[in-house]
Amino acid sequence: GKVVANVPYVALDSFETDSLGRLYYKVTGINGEFVSGYDDLPGVPPDVPRSDAYPALVRFYHARYRDQPVGIAALHQPVYDDTMRGIALIQVGETIDARRGLSRQILFDTLWRQAVLVVAAALLAWFAVRFVLRPLMRLRNEVEARASTDLTDFDPALVHKEVRPLVAAMNRYMERLQGLINGQRRFIADASHQLRTPLTVLKTQAELALRENDPRAMREIVESIARTTDATVHLANRLLTLARAEHGAAEGGMAAVSLVDVVRQVGLELALAAVKKDIDLSLDAPLDAIINGNALLLHELIVNLLDNAIRYTPAGGTISLRVTAGTQPAFEIDDTGVGIPAAERERVFAPFYRAATSQQVNPGGAGLGLTIVRDIVALHNADLTLDSGADGRGLRIRVVFPASRVLTPAV
């Protein structure tokens, strides 16, 4: 028995020359004898690993043959008949330069097509973005062309329906802004009027003092000037406090605040005023109640409420201060003063508005105390309620603060 290689002529022709490079082959018999092909084709090196796909039959390796790099596949082919049995070796090699050239050609063709696709996609995306953003550009141009005082609504038809909720939100925001501006204008007009009156009185009193020769009459005029000046300073301070409360611009910002400490401090500050009127002032509070707030504004809030209670509570009356802890800490002040009629409890928060009962007791008030209270309460997202006091007498004011995650007060 002898191994014979029967290679077709067409296959031999392809081994001789190929448009992509050269092909070589070699067939070795079961005893290592040369059978066919190129007898000097490099054999399988001993360190070449077996193929993962065909671990028992095929090995792949690279070598140099006839001064060219070649890739070779070695196939171990079982051979047997009645007279012999063994494994022949079939090797097929190909020049690598041709394969590399083909790889470069494929890579170039692929990259060229990909580049064309990328450029086309970029142009398409550019035109699509321009088309989609065109309504937004029109909206931007309208915003830039508007005067600073023009807060009229934008036309939702300027943009696509997907963007119309944004335009609607902008319109609602401008409505709120317009309301704020209108409120500020009304406040400035009212404040100007309120300040003009005492200043006019001061001017008149000063002119009278200049013409007066009687020392006693002069002293009375100067005392009137002092009282008018005190009232004007009080009004100006109230206006400044109100502006600070409306804009939340007090120093310190929001932090952990002990509501009990603030109420206790204000109570000590105004205790003398209560004693002078023989008013029984009491405080009922837990050990502590922590809220998230502005300490300066909270102090101003309690001062306004307690000062009003002392002013409008007659001699011999009572004022009770209460602080409650829990998930929603609260402050409550209950007095036996003149109170506020139910019909006026909403209007008393308007700037410079004074209830009829208040004007009778304290005609010189500015009418800003409860306005300041309202703005400070709003700044802290708290709830403010006015009600009659115990047995329907006086006034009870309750401020409930929102639940806070603050655990320790600020130092």
- Interval 155-199: pLDDT, tens: 887 777 777 888 888 888 888 888 777 767 766 766 676 667 677
Q: If we measure between CA atoms, which residue out of 82, 67, 85, 87 comes closest to residue 27?
A: 87
Q: Above 50 in pLDDT, residue 132?
A: yes
User: Which tops the pLDDT comparison, 181 or 40?
Assistant: 40
In contact, 27 and 88? CB cutoff 8 Å: yes
Residue type, 218: M
Domain ranges in the chain are 9-102, 252-400
Which two tokens mark 70?
A: 């070649």
User: Which tops the pLDDT comparison, 122 or 218?
Assistant: 122
The domain 9-102 having CATH identifier 3.40.220: the answer here is: no
Of all residues in the chain, the percent with pLDDT exceeding 70 is 80
Q: If we measure between CA atoms, which residue out of 289, 306, 311, 308 comes closest to residue 382?
A: 289
Confidence class of residue 331 from pLDDT cuts 50, 70 and 90? very high
pLDDT at residue 85, as a whole number: 84
Confidence class of residue 120 from pLDDT cuts 50, 70 and 90? very high
Q: Is 90 in a helix, a strand, or coil?
A: strand
Q: Above 80 in pLDDT, residue 7?
A: no
Which two tokens mark 184?
A: 């500020």
pLDDT at residue 177, as a whole number: 82
Confidence class of residue 121 from pLDDT cuts 50, 70 and 90? very high
For range 61-72, the mean pLDDT: 88
d(CA 397, CA 331): 8
> Cα-Cα-Cα-Cα dihedral of 146, 151, 155, 158, to 10°?
40
**330-335 and 318-324 strand pairing:** antiparallel
Question: What is the pTM assigned to this prediction?
Answer: 0.50
Q: Domain 252-400, what fold?
A: Heat Shock Protein 90 (3.30.565)
d(CA 153, CA 387): 40
**395-400 and 330-335 strand pairing:** antiparallel
In contact, 58 and 76? CB cutoff 8 Å: yes
Report which secondary-structure segment, H or E, holds 378: helix 369-379
pLDDT at residue 116, as a whole number: 92
> Cα-Cα-Cα-Cα dihedral of 60, 61, 63, 65, to 10°?
0
Q: Express each pLDDT in 274-320 by its tens digit.
A: 998 899 999 888 878 888 888 888 888 898 889 888 988 888 899 99
First to last CA, the chain: 105
Phi-psi region of 30 (alpha: psi -120 to 50; beta: other; left: phi over 0): alpha
Distances (CA, A) of 348 to 140, 304, 356, 359: 43, 14, 10, 12
pLDDT at residue 261, as a whole number: 92
Q: Which of 10-19, 115-124, 341-350 has the highest mean pLDDT?
A: 115-124
For range 28-42, the mean pLDDT: 88
Helix axes of 215-247 and 369-379: crossing angle, nearest 10 degrees: 20
In contact, 283 and 269? CB cutoff 8 Å: no
Confidence class of residue 408 from pLDDT cuts 50, 70 and 90? very low
Looking at every residue in the chain, the average pLDDT score rounds to 79
